[in-house]
Amino acid sequence: MAPEQGPYARSPDHPLIAGRDEAALAREVVERLLQGVGLRAGVRANREAAGLFIDIHLPVRGTPGRPRVRGLPAGRQAMFVGAAQHLAHLIVQRKFPGAPPVYLALAGQREQRSNQLQGKTVAVARLVLESGREMALDMVYEYEMKIVRDALRQFPSLFARAVDVGDELRRNVVIAPVRR
């Protein structure tokens, strides 16, 4: 059966699709998922070169380094974000073939991850300089490779490369000395 056929198919003039771009559709999907599980939240979508970034603004308590979302048990937060990201990505890809990947984060997590990744990149770079041997960093999303490369600018004798694809969205990263 073709993707546009069947009981769940939506025509291009359906209210959920009509006049919407990929970011608006992804935002709408996430809003409906949140409503479906009984959470009230603000959702902001932003299209960037690396993908569609959806920030979820939920009522939060806890400390700045360890926020806890009201209505979601602590261990379920990452599971919900991962599942919602996957569903939003599938729906957007089905309606807009070739659309960029969808990335979801609770408000502030992306900035926190960026700072963490920059710090870890610098620490691993110093170890590579001392040992002269390449070292693995982390599995990162495509947009995070830019963060790694920007952090390595202060180390002109080092470079980062993606070794192999960990899954469809993340890559294994190695920091290595430049061979002359």
CA 129 to chain centre: 30
Average pLDDT over residues 24-47: 88
User: According to the model, what pLDDT value does residue 50 have?
Assistant: 79
Contact assessment for residue 54 and residue 43, using Cβ atoms and an 8 Å cutoff:
yes
Contact assessment for residue 58 and residue 50, using Cβ atoms and an 8 Å cutoff:
no
Burial 65-84 (b: 16+ CB within 10 A, else e): eebebebbeeeebeebbeeb
Question: Taking 90 as the threshold, does the pLDDT of residue 11 lie above it?
Answer: no
Confidence band (pLDDT; 50, 70, 90) for 60? low
Which position has the token pair 């309606």?
95
Where do the domains of the chain lie, and which CATH numbers do they carry? 22-107 (3.30.70), 112-177 (3.30.1370.50)
Query: Which pTM does this prediction carry?
Result: 0.61
Q: Which of 49, 55, 60 is CA-nearest to residue 26?
A: 55
